[in-house]
Amino acid sequence: MSDLEAMKAEVKKLSARAMQAKMDLHDLSEELPVGLDTVMATATRVCESYAALEAMKAQMKALEAAS
């Protein structure tokens, strides 16, 4: 598997993880004030997930540009 193919697979995995984190936050918001103590941890997970996704996309774009 090439580096580009591996990165595409990783982007797909990170995208799914980010989407799940976003949905977890959405679900949590619908149940407020129940679960209020977990909002910040869940929101942090969303931010970190999307940051990792964007970083991988940037690496992939740089690799594609170098090719």
pLDDT in tens, the chain (67 residues): 689 899 999 999 999 999 999 999 999 999 999 999 999 999 999 999 999 999 999 999 999 998 7
Model confidence, pTM: 0.89
- For 23, half-sphere exposure in the C-beta direction (CA atoms, 13 angstrom radius) is 6
Asked if 21 and 60 touch (Cβ cutoff 8 Å), the reply is no
pLDDT of residue 1: 63
pLDDT of residue 43: 98
pLDDT of residue 67: 79
Domains of the chain: 3-66 (1.10.287.660)
Q: What is the identity of the amino acid at 3?
A: D
